[in-house]
Structure 1
Amino acid sequence: MSGSVNLAYDYPLLGAFWTILWISLWVLWFILLFRVIADVFRDDNLGGWGKAGWIVLVIVLPFIGVLAYLLARGDGMGRREYQHAQAQQEAVNSYIRKTAGAPGMSEAEQLAKLSEIRSRGDISDEEFARAKAKILH
C-alpha cells in the first residue's frame, strides 16, 4: 500500500461540484443573514435596545447570532414579512386610487381634474374631449 491516495478534489468534475456547493452555501448564508437583519428592523414590537442587541450579536458572532435569532424569533418572521407586503400593496392601491381618481368623485370634480391635466399640457384637446364625453355619459 505504497500508492498515492486520490482525494475527491483530484477529479475535475468533483472539484467543480464542491466549488458550486460551497458557493451556493455562501449565497444562502448571506441571504439568511440579510433576511434576519431586515426582520430585526421591520419588527415594531422590538424596542431600540433589543434591535441594537440583536444587530450587535449578528455582526459580532454571525453564525451564533443568526441561529439564536431564528430559534428565538424565527416563528414570526413569515408573519412580519406578510404584513409588510400587505402594507406595501395597500400603499400602492391607495396611490393608484388617489392618482386615478376615486369612483366616488363627482362629475364636477372629475372635470376639474381633467381640465387641470389639459392645462398642464399632459393631454391634447382631442383626448380631453374624449375623456369629458366619457365622464358625462
Structure 2
Amino acid sequence: MALASAEYPFLNLMWTMLVFFCWIAWFWLLFVAFGDLFRRADLSGWAKAGWTVLLIVLPFLGVLLYLITQGRHIVERQRARDAGYVSTLDRTGAAQIAEARRLLEEGVIDDAEYQALKRKALAR
C-alpha cells in the first residue's frame, strides 16, 4: 500500500488549491459583473447586450474592462441600493409604531401592548 504523499506531493496539493481558489474567484467576479450589469437602470438594453456579449465571448477581457470602466461605480450603486433598503425598513417600523400609537389613543390596546408593539417594531 503506497502512501498518499508519495502519489500526490505537497506542492501539487498547494498548486491545486491555488487553482481552485482562482477558479472560484473568477466565477465570483463574473457574478458581480453580471449582477451589477442587470441591476443598472442607467444603461440601455443595447448597452447591456453589448456588455453581455463581451463578458461571454471574451470573459477575461470583458470582466477586466468592466471592472476598469465601472469598478468605482459598482460600490456606489450597491451602497445606494443598501441605503434604499434600510430606509424602507425604517419607514416600515415607523408605520408600525404610528399604527400602534393610533390603536392606543383609540383605546383598542393598553400601554403595555403599545410598548410591546413598539419594541417589536424597533427590533427590526
For structure 2, which runs of at least 5 residues remain unmatched after alignment?
A: 1-6, 117-124
Distance 1:37 1:51 in 2: 9
**Corresponding residue number in structure 2 for 1:49:** 46
Q: How far apart, CA to CA, are the structure 2 residues paired with 1:28 and 1:86?
A: 27
Whether the aligned pair in 1 keeps the contact of 2:104 and 2:114 (CA below 8 Å) is yes
Relative to 1, partners in 2 of residues 1:46 and 1:11: Cα closer, same or farther, differing over 3 Å?
Answer: same
Which residue of 1 is the match for residue 97 of structure 2?
101
Seen in structure 2, the aligned counterparts of structure 1 residues 133 and 14 have a Cα distance that, compared at 3 Å, is: closer
Whether the aligned pair in 1 keeps the contact of 2:55 and 2:62 (CA below 8 Å) is yes
CA distance in 2: counterparts of 1:69 and 1:52, whole angstroms: 13
Matches within 5 A, 1:84-95: 84-95=81-92
- Which of structures 1 and 2 has the larger relative contact order (alpha carbons within 8 angstroms, sep 6+)? 2
Are positions 1:111 and 2:104 aligned together? yes
Where structure 1 has 5 or more consecutive residues not aligned to the other structure, the ranges are 1-9, 116-127
**Aligned length in residues:** 109
Q: Please, what is the CA RMSD of the aligned residues? A: 2.8
Q: Secondary structure at the match of 1:59?
A: helix
Moved more, 44-53 or 30-39: 44-53
Q: TM-score, normalised by structure 1?
A: 0.66
Q: How far off its partner does 1:43 sit?
A: 2.0
Amino acid of the residue matched to residue 29 of structure 2? L
Q: Note the alpha carbon deviations across 1:17-45, whole angstroms, 9 max, x for none.
A: 00110011011111111001111122222
**Could you say which structure has the higher helix fraction?**
2
Give me the TM-score of the superposition, normalised by structure 2. 0.72
- Give 1 or 2 for the bigger CA radius of gyration: 1
Q: Is 1:131 paired with 2:116?
A: no
